[in-house]
Amino acid sequence: MERLQTPEAIRQRIWQELVRSSRDRHHAWRTPALATLGPDQRPDARTVVLRHVDEAAERLEIYTDMRSPKRAALEQAPWALFLFWSHRLRWQLRVSVRVSVIDTGPRVEQLWSQVKNTSAAADYLSPNPPGSALEACTQVEAPARHWFGIIDAQVCEIDWLELGSVEHRRARLTRDSWQWLNP
Ligand X SMILES: Cc1cc2nc3c(=O)[nH]c(=O)nc-3n(C[C@H](O)[C@H](O)[C@H](O)COP(=O)(O)O)c2cc1C
35: exposed, middle or buried (Cβ count in 10 Å: 0-12, 13-18, 19+): middle
Instruction: Give the nearest distance from C-beta 50 to ligand X in angstroms.
Output: 8
Work out which of 4, 35, 49, 125 binds ligand X, going by CB under 6 A.
49
Give Rg (Cα) of the chain: 18
Q: Does 62 bind ligand X (CB under 6 A)?
A: yes
Q: Does 63 bind ligand X (CB under 6 A)?
A: yes
Long-range contacts, 51-59 (Cβ 8 Å, 24+): 51/22, 52/22, 53/15, 53/18, 53/19, 53/21, 53/22, 55/15, 55/18, 55/19, 57/154, 58/154, 58/155, 58/175, 59/152, 59/153, 59/154, 59/155
Work out which of 10, 18, 48, 173 binds ligand X, going by CB under 6 A.
48
Q: Does 103 bind ligand X (CB under 6 A)?
A: no
Region 109-168 residues binding ligand X, contact defined as CB under 6 A: 130-131
Q: Are 35 and 99 in contact (CB under 8 A)?
A: no
Q: Does 61 bind ligand X (CB under 6 A)?
A: no
93 vs 37: CA distance, rounded Å: 19
Instruction: Give the nearest distance from C-beta 138 to ligand X in angstroms.
Output: 21
Kindly indicate which of the ranges 64-72, 80-88, 93-101, 154-162 contains the residues binding ligand X, using the contact rule CB under 6 A. Answer: 64-72
Work out which of 12, 16, 31, 174 binds ligand X, going by CB under 6 A.
31
Kindly indicate which of the ranges 5-13, 46-54, 89-97, 156-164 contains the residues binding ligand X, using the contact rule CB under 6 A. Answer: 46-54
Kindly indicate which of the ranges 61-69, 91-99, 100-108, 157-165 contains the residues binding ligand X, using the contact rule CB under 6 A. Answer: 61-69
Q: Which DSSP category does 90 fall into?
A: T
Length of the chain: 183
Q: Does 64 bind ligand X (CB under 6 A)?
A: yes
* Chain contacts with ligand X (rule: CB under 6 A): 31, 44, 46-49, 62-64, 68-70, 130-131
